[in-house]
């Protein structure tokens, strides 16, 4: 998430009431999670296991809960609770905006796009030309939809990320300030949910077709011309490359990559990254023919025991 204008390190520190290490005029351009940070961004870290990863990332400002040596060319924000203060920054730069109409006045709707009754289109949403948005679709603030997109009834774009910190008093939610971006010629079935990014974009690229009752987690990127069948669940921060097919009830764990033109057969569970140009089956998913052989061998176990 990029800020509307550049802010100084001192300005950011004043928002969250923290100490800082570095030049007071050091420029801060945005904030992001570790997997999508760029120079100019803030990243937060609150566990010693990940200190080095954050300090050596592309981020140039690190929001951290310990005084450490500041890497050259970077700055530190010292906080007793980086998770809380990252939320403060999200709330400051991306505050919740109440809507008063089914289609917000700030929404931009393209030529020949049809929005059926009872659909909701939030603040600053952009929808391209020749789209069809069916009844009871909810498109939350700041979502971007391309041209020739069809979204069927009951689908929700831009719901919050499922991201919590377990505290003694209960689960503390990480606020979502990102977007959902749908490119051209995408079809999305009924009753699907696509969560917005925490700070970046959840993206569905052009030509992809998504069946009914599919869930896509925060910051996931689905490539071009993919087919995602019904009741598939995709966790956050997944990269699905172009022309991938996921058949019904496939489950995908977070932060993995599925390679180009991979096919995953129904009811498979994906627990690690998969190479492209292959077919997979099972839970955990493996190359389909090998998995079928294993299942055949398992059926022979009772006969082997009898012998």
> Residue 284: is the preceding peptide bond cis (ω within 30°)?
yes
Select which of 7, 134, 152, 218 is catalytic: 218
Q: What is the DSSP letter of 272?
A: S
Is the separation of the CB atoms in 153 and 190 below 8 Å? yes
Rounded CA-CA distance 210/218 in Å is: 16
The C-alpha atoms of residue 251 and residue 58 are separated, in whole angstroms, by: 31
HSE-up (13 A, CA, CB side) for residue 38: 7
DSSP class of 27: E
Q: Where are the beta strands (DSSP E) in 238-296?
A: 239-240, 245-246, 251-252, 257-258, 263-264, 269-270, 279-281, 286-287
283 C-beta neighbours (distance < 10 Å), count: 13
User: What backbone torsions phi and psi does residue 53 show, to the nearest 5 degrees?
Assistant: -60, -45
Please tell me the distance from the alpha carbon of residue 83 to that of residue 62, in angstroms, as a whole number. Answer: 12
Extract the tokens encoding 34.
Answer: 């570790």
How far is it, in rounded angstroms, from Cα 58 to Cα 302? Answer: 56
Q: Which residues pair with 210 in a beta bridge?
A: 188, 228
CB atoms under 10 Å from CB of 240, counted, come to 27
Give backbone dihedrals phi and psi of 304, rounded to 5 degrees, phi first: -65, -40
218: annotated active-site residue: yes
Identify the helix (H) or strand (E) that includes residue 52: helix 51-55
List, by residue number, the catalytic residues: 218
């Amino acid at each position: 998430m990029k800020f509307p204008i550049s802010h100084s390190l001192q300005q950011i520190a004043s928002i969250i009431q923290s100490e800082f290490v570095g030049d007071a005029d050091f420029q801060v351009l945005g904030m992001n999670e570790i997997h999508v940070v760029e120079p100019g961004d803030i990243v937060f870290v609150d566990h010693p296991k990940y200190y080095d990863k954050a300090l050596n990332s592309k981020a140039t400002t690190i929001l951290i809960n310990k005084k450490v040596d500041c890497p050259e060319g970077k700055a530190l924000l010292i906080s007793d609770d980086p998770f809380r203060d990252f939320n403060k920054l999200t709330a400051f730069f991306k505050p919740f905006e109440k809507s008063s109409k089914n289609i917000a006045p700030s929404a931009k709707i393209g030529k020949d796009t049809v929005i059926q009754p009872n659909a909701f289109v939030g603040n600053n949403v952009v929808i391209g030309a020749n789209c069809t948005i069916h009844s009871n679709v909810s498109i939350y603030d700041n979502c971007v939809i391309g041209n020739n997109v069809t979204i069927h009834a009951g689908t929700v774009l831009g719901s919050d990320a499922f991201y919590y910190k377990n505290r003694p008093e209960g689960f503390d939610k990480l606020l979502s300030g990102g977007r959902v971006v749908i490119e051209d010629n995408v079809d999305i079935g009924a009753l699907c949910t696509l969560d917005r990014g925490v700070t970046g974009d959840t993206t569905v690229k052009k030509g992809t077709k998504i069946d009914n009752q599919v869930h896509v987690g925060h910051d996931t990127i689905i490539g071009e011309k993919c087919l995602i069948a019904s009741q598939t669940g995709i966790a956050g921060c997944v990269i699905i490359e172009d022309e991938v097919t996921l058949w019904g009830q496939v489950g995908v764990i977070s932060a993995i990559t599925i390679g180009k033109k991979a096919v995953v057969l129904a009811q498979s569970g994906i627990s690690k990254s998969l190479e492209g140009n292959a077919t997979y089956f099972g839970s955990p998913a493996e190359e389909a023919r090998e998995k079928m052989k294993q299942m055949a061998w398992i059926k022979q176990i009772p006969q082997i025991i009898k012998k």
